[in-house]
Amino acid sequence: MSETTTERHICANCGYIYDPAAGDPMNSVPPGTAFSDLPEAWVCPMCYASTDQFDLLD
Amino acid sequence: MKPSVASLYQAVELQQEIPPLLIGERANANGSKKFRELLLADDYESCLKIAVEQEQKGAHIIDLCTAYAGRDEMADLTTLVRLCAGGLKAPLMIDSTTPEVIEACLRIYPGRAIVNSINLEDGGVNIRRVCRAAKKYGAAVVALTIDERGMAMSADDKLRVARAIHTIAVDECGLRPEDLLFDCLTFTVGSGDNTLRDAALQTLEGIRRIKAELPGCLSVLGVSNISFGLAPAARRILNSVFLHEAVAAGLDAAIVDAARVLPLARISTEDRQVCLDLLHNRQVAGEKDPLMRFIDHFSTASNTAEDEEQESTRPPEQQLFHKVLNGDKDGLEDLLAILRERFRPIDIINQILVPAMRHVGELFGKGEILLPFVLQSAEVMKGSVTLLEPFMDRTDGGSATRILLATVQGDVHDIGKNLVDIILSNNGYTVYNLGIKVPAETVIEKARELRVDLVGLSGLLVKSAIVMQESLPQYRDAGLTVPVLLGGAALTPKFVAESCVPNYPGPVVYCSDAFAGLKAVREFEEGRLQSTRYDSAVAVQPMKPGVRDAVVERSNPVPEPPFIGRRYVQDIDPEALFPLVNTQALFRGRWGYRRGKMSAQEYRQLIDGTVHPLYQDLQHRAVAAGWIQPRVSYGYFRCHSRENDLHVEAEGREYVFTFPRQGEPPFLCIADYFKSAEEGGDVAGFFVVTIGALIGEETARLYRENAYHDYLMLHGFSVEVTDALAEYWHAVMRRELGIGAALGDVQDAVTQQYQGSRYGFGYPACPDLDVHRPLFEFLKPETIGVTLTENMQMVPEQTTSAIVVHHPQAKYFAV
């Protein structure tokens, strides 16, 4: 896997961490999905913040 | 176990998750004039203060060195080690070359220290004695690559000496490889000496090879040696760039002045390039050598790291511009007095201060500076204007665009509106801030009376968005036509365009934050402000995450609560809440310390050096001043569900909570998680928790006093501590219900790694605040000082309410 496909991102609003290894079952996102490949309409499964509210964590 | 050192208070890993480990260098009689003078005056307490200050600036370890001609090193260093052992959280680095002194210090230090340092200068005498002492007292050791021939200059020699030391320390004296921190001792690249042109490269290569060939060993470096002989401002930049390079080469720890490490993002691309060319000795055909280019560049460039000497040679108007830019209030009065001799006050504002704030706004827009720094800049602007006002004519500034701001009726949240006020008023606009809970009639009356050019409305919750929507026809009927700007967490461009714009003749504009508000005001001045538009054909509808199970299990057991009815709790220690504060949400979300364009290392330095100390200071002050008064009204009640309703028995009466149901699959509703009467009924928990009104009063005081930065910090802190109290009390209730183990960490709480859920009223699973009406009737939180506004919001603001659901499938969802 390239670097971007494993990079975790953290929600600045609530602290939820999107980890590509786990995906996001709450939004039906399968494991292995890079943050940059999330659908445009994707929001934080915990607080509904949009992707621009996320910071690169690693 | 990861190699660590420790003080009485804490263990610190030598290999930080994001390197380097920062070792503070200022408590050194040879390196710091200030420290030396204090030592010469026998002022040990003040020496300790220098150590503590470095810790506050982000140093993980404090180097302590008292060796100075004419002083009794044994007495000085042992005294200070004792003082530091009790007064310093960071572990110590005992910096001495005298084995007796090292042994004495290790004997009295109640933690695991690092010894700085050993070498092979004397052919191997002292090193054995110090290593045996280190072995005996369990210390780590810094090893300098020096032997009888002197300091090793080439990477080959550095590795050769390191190997020799390794043999003695590990094979002979029994230290473990991870007890050794090799210091490759860099030479300066600033001397112009031909033999030292590649000094940085040799050091970087030395680090790489030692780490590769002596596995397990660590590396450390006194970074500032790289720039000896160069100008102070340029040194700071070169040191920071070199540190970054060294970490990339594998450096674990750096001996630095922690306060003077610059994040790479604050160094311009040109500055960085000139530094890299010098460090890597890059010759460019047709140009001067890299050292001359470096010196030329920093003698003319206006670099980001302004130093004081350079500062005072700038023209005063530029100094003021930079003070705004850097959020620096020192000496403002003198500087403005000088400027007033040459400019009218209104020109100082319009020609210097406003352009400076505009520049700050642009930097924020590009992600180059963060909100807290914008607020510090605004404080300089505000402080300047306050100092200039006595010298201004009444008519000055009368032509500025006038904006009315208000938080709508029934809404107590004012942070968003106040941030808009700060940004607009400090960009030269005239702002009339009417406060919170402002009725539409008052907005209309004041808008006419003050002849404002725009109206800005704010409100946090879903209910406030509805209030905005409903007040626009009132404004229209009253004859208002000025543009209306709308802001608030529950608003979306879609809602504004479809539900607000059609009800008003003038432009109605959605503003996502204070800077969007500033942009809208500028567009208004340029005559091109337009209503928010929303094209549903191209717009993306956000997803609705949540539980996917359509079938809610009916056979789950109903837990037996320890009591039925209401109870009050007032004896919660505020300190118990701090471990549950969601610091990620606080630092990044509430405070705006986003990572932006920073590297992981730079961001870590910002958090460790600036943000975390600020947070700890707030904790101490909040506890000392009694600002946090946790109080809880809660209880367990028999209940049963019927479709969307939850019927709750309390005090011999039945209260009905009507919860909304999702309009699409899986069509969830909070009531679904409770058993019906036919199924035997159920138990629901409820709580209202507050940290009291004091912290809100203190926050309001900071705002009144134009302490914008501290205002944002304390407000964010109060909100997150309130949430921590809710998290804390939810855990107590799970325990009382017998459905919860010990508290997990904050991340577990964020992702609901526990049985059941708590649904906050006013939030996505239950946006409607009307459920507060029955809740307040039987929880009676008035007893703990909580009341409701006319549209069901709780006062004080630092209060939160929830229904506690025990059903294992219950998790967050949005209706």
Q: Which mean pLDDT values do the consecutive 10-residue runs of chain B (815 residues) have?
A: 88 89 90 87 91 88 90 93 91 94 95 94 91 95 91 92 96 95 89 82 96 95 85 87 93 86 81 93 86 84 46 73 89 90 86 89 84 92 92 70 95 92 92 95 96 95 90 96 94 93 96 93 94 83 76 93 97 94 96 90 89 94 95 98 96 95 90 96 98 96 94 97 96 93 77 92 88 96 94 93 96 87
- H helices within B652-770, ranges in order? 694-704, 708-737, 746-750
Give the end-to-end CA distance of chain A in Å, rounded to a whole number.
15
Distance CA B19, CA B605 (A): 10
Q: Do A41 and B542 touch (CB under 8 A)?
A: yes
Distance CA B141, CA B217 (A): 11
Q: Do A26 and B746 touch (CB under 8 A)?
A: no
By the CB < 8 Å criterion, does B751 face chain A?
yes
Which pLDDT value is given to residue B395? 59
Q: Do A50 and B545 touch (CB under 8 A)?
A: no
Cis (ω within 30 of 0) for the bond into B562? Answer: no
Q: Do A58 and B600 touch (CB under 8 A)?
A: yes
Cα torsion angle, B770, B773, B774, B779, sign: positive
By the CB < 8 Å criterion, does A26 face chain B?
yes
Distances in whole angstroms, Cα of residue B696 to Cα of each of B599, B699, B713, B716, B719 = 35, 5, 12, 11, 10
Distance CA B50, CA B34 (A): 9
Q: How many helices (H) and strands (E) does chain B have?
A: 28, 26
Closest of B541, B535, B531 to residue B472, by C-alpha: B531
Q: Do B751 and A43 touch (CB under 8 A)?
A: no
What is the interface size between A and B, counted as CB pairs within 8 Å? 68
SS3 B304: coil
Which pLDDT value is given to residue B301? 54
By the CB < 8 Å criterion, does A41 face chain B?
yes
- The alpha-carbon gap from B298 to the nearest alpha carbon of chain A, in Å, equals 33
The residue behind tokens 């944002």 is B712
Task: Determine if residue B70 is left, alpha or beta; phi over 0 gives left, psi from -120 to 50 gives alpha, anything else beta.
Answer: left
- H helices within B249-307, ranges in order? 269-279, 290-300
Task: Please determine, for the modelled complex, whether the ipTM score is greater than 0.90.
Answer: yes
Strand order in the sheet with A17-18: A17-18, A9-11, A54-56
Chain B residues with CB inside 8 Å of A15's CB?
A: 582-585, 746-747, 750
Closest of B19, B427, B560, B527 to residue B256, by C-alpha: B19
Which pLDDT value is given to residue B716? 97
- DSSP annotation of B511: -
Q: Do A58 and B541 touch (CB under 8 A)?
A: no
Q: How many helices (H) and strands (E) does chain A have?
A: 0, 3
Chain B residues with CB inside 8 Å of A13's CB?
A: 585, 588-589
If you measure CA to CA, which chain B residue comes closest to A53? B589
Closest CB from B545, B596, B600 relative to A45 = B545
Which pLDDT value is given to residue A1? 46
Note whether B778 and B651 are within 8 A (CB): yes
Q: What residues contact B34, with CB distance under 8 A and at least 6 apart?
A: B26, B50
Bridge partners for B635 per DSSP: B566, B686
Closest CB from B750, B812, B814 relative to A15 = B750
SS3 A9: strand
Q: What residues contact B806, with CB distance under 8 A and at least 6 apart?
A: B558, B559, B683, B685, B734, B737, B739, B755, B756
Closest of B525, B619, B617, B510 to residue B574, by C-alpha: B619
Distance CA B302, CA B288 (A): 21
Q: Do A13 and B585 touch (CB under 8 A)?
A: yes
SS3 B197: coil
Phi, psi of B659 (to 5 degrees): -105, 145
Which pLDDT value is given to residue B310? 47
Q: Which residues of chain A have pLDDT under 70?
A: 1-4
If you measure CA to CA, which chain B residue comes closest to A9? B595
Closest CB from A15, A40, A43 relative to B584 = A15
Phi, psi of B67 (to 5 degrees): -65, 115
Q: Which helix (H) or strand (E) holds B31?
A: none
Q: 0.80 exceeded by the pTM?
A: no
Note whether B512 and B477 are within 8 A (CB): no
The one-letter amino acid code at B48 reads: L
Which pLDDT value is given to residue A4? 62
Q: Do B588 and A12 touch (CB under 8 A)?
A: yes
Q: Which pair of tokens denotes residue B534?
A: 């929303």
Distance CA A53, CA A17 (A): 12
Which pLDDT value is given to residue B307? 45
Closest of B607, B587, B615 to residue B22, by C-alpha: B607
